[in-house]
Amino acid sequence: MSSEIVTTDAVIVGAGPCGLFAVFELGLLDIRCEVIDILDRPGGQCAELYPEKPIYDIPALPYVTGQELVDRLLQQIKPFKAGFHFNQMVTEFRKTEAGDFELKTDGGLTFRAKLVVIAAGGGSFQPKKPPIPGIEGYESKSVFYSVKKMQTFSGKDILIVGGGDSALDWTLNLQPVARSLTLLHRRDDFRAAPDSVNKMRSLVAEGKMQFKLGQVTGLTGTGGYLQSVQVKGPEGAFDIAANTLLPFFGLTMKLGPVANWGINLHENLIPVDTAKFETSVPGLFAIGDINTYPGKLKLILSGFHEAALMAQEAFHIKNPGEKLLFQYTTSSSSLQKKLGVA
């Protein structure tokens, strides 16, 4: 990972619909943006939770799916050429002596910006941790919720649990490097891509890995090092010998490191004023589901409105003392130039 510092006008934390529309509103005011998201693609909840599901309350779009809304937003903000940084969680946040913000991510990126917009929705998507008794004691030694480096798993006796794409993809990727690999799932049907399932079944037929039906009930090991996993199967309980466990049960939203950024919080939400959508820290804004104010509704359309008002104040932070002329995209040739349509 590069250790160079990305310097920009605004950093937007969260690439959901509100974060994406913030790129548009800031872009119209010549504010350059870098967008950071923990997921591997833009769209936030719309892309992760309900890409195929219908949304009926976007103004002028009687029906739109989550993914289509994201695609349309990406098209709308294209002229502003924002930088996107995926698979990154902002872990450190501070205001520098110079008055700007410095953010660091778990992927080793550093950002410097005049202002920061938190558009993190329900928080950061993080892997679900199955509530198996004592599992915490094995985490990062024997139990992993994601694969950062393949070589960590080389020569291990691996048990992968789950039936989705992550479980199947990592089964196929880790099988060649593992000493042994077992896939455990609660049923003989998978929500993963059929092609991956077929490949997994071939490996089983060739005797290169095992597939078992059942659910994990307990773990046995010492000092954080796993020895075996207790399983409840359709025909009773059994053990699987494994020193590495990878449970893939999808993602859940957690507020995450934002809680440690020194911002006032109210029930895990960030209070803002309703003129500028600024937090208790000047220059730090919060829009969309993560903020709260009297009358707040967690609607995408509310987040869009919040982005527009936030951008007005952002302009004054970037251009102190300058007057902002309010313009319409329909009639302003200067805005149309920025949009690439004039």
Partner 1 sequence: MAKITYIQHNGTSQSVEAQAGMTVMEAAVKNLVPGIDADCGGACACATCHVFVNPEWLDRTGKRSDMEEDMLDFAFDVRDNSRLSCQIKVTDQLDGLVVQVPEKQF
Nearest-approach distance from CB 49 to partner 1, in angstroms: 4
Max CA pair span of the chain: 74
**Binds partner 1 by CB under 8 A, chosen from 81, 94, 187, 266:** 187
Of residues 45 and 244, the one with the C-beta less far from partner 1 = 45
The reply on whether position 130 binds partner 1 by CB under 8 A is: yes
Stretch that binds partner 1, among 29-37, 184-192, 197-205, 236-244 (CB under 8 A): 184-192
> In the chain, what is the straight-line distance between the N-terminal and C-terminal CA atoms, in Å?
39
Q: Which of residues 26-45 bind partner 1 (CB under 8 A)?
A: 45
Least Å distance between CB 129 and partner 1?
A: 7
Contact between 253 and partner 1 (CB under 8 A)?
A: yes
Q: Work out whether the CA dihedral 261, 265, 269, 271 comes out positive or negative.
A: negative
From the CB of 197, what's the least distance to partner 1, in Å?
Answer: 13
Please say which residue, 225 or 238, places its beta carbon nearer to partner 1. 238
Q: Left if phi > 0, otherwise alpha if psi is -120 to 50, otherwise beta: which for 163?
A: alpha
Among 72, 85, 186, 305, binds partner 1 (CB under 8 A): 186
Structure tokens at 314: 């952002």
Q: Measured between alpha carbons, how far is 254 from 150 in angstroms, rounded to an integer?
A: 26
Between 131 and 295, CB nearer to partner 1: 131
Torsion of CA 335, 303, 17, 2, to 10 degrees: 80
Residues 60-119 touching partner 1, rule: CB under 8 A, are none
Scan for tokens 């992927």, then name that residue.
107
Structure tokens at 122: 């329900």
Phi/psi region, residue 100 (left: phi>0; alpha: psi -120 to 50; beta: rest), is: beta
Q: Which of the ranges 107-115, 187-195, 220-228, 318-326 carries the binding residues for partner 1, by CB under 8 A?
A: 187-195
Binding to partner 1 by residue 293, rule CB under 8 A? no
- Is residue 129 part of the contact set for partner 1 (CB under 8 A)? yes
How far out from the chain centre does Cα 91 lie? 13
Distances (CA, A) of 78 to 26, 75, 108, 163, 284: 13, 5, 26, 36, 24
Interaction of residue 128 with partner 1, rule CB under 8 A: yes
Among 79, 137, 164, 256, binds partner 1 (CB under 8 A): 164
DSSP string, 53-91: SEE--BTTBSSEEHHHHHHHHHHHHGGG--EEE-S--EE
Stretch that binds partner 1, among 16-24, 93-101, 244-252, 261-269 (CB under 8 A): 244-252
Q: Smaller CB distance to partner 1: residue 11 or 132? A: 132
User: Taking CB under 8 A as the rule, does residue 236 contact partner 1?
Assistant: no
We find the least distance from the C-beta atom of residue 66 to partner 1, in angstroms, to be 9
Does residue 122 bind partner 1 (CB under 8 A)?
yes
Q: Cα–Cα distance between 115 and 151 in angstroms, integer?
A: 39
The answer to whether 277 and 291 have CB atoms below 8 angstroms apart is yes
| Contact call for residue 249 and partner 1 (CB under 8 A) | yes
Rg (CA), the chain: 23
Q: Which of the ranges 82-90, 157-165, 173-181, 258-266 carries the binding residues for partner 1, by CB under 8 A?
A: 157-165
Binding-site ranges for partner 1 (CB under 8 A): 45, 49-50, 53, 122, 128-131, 162-164, 185-187, 189, 191, 215, 249-250, 252-253
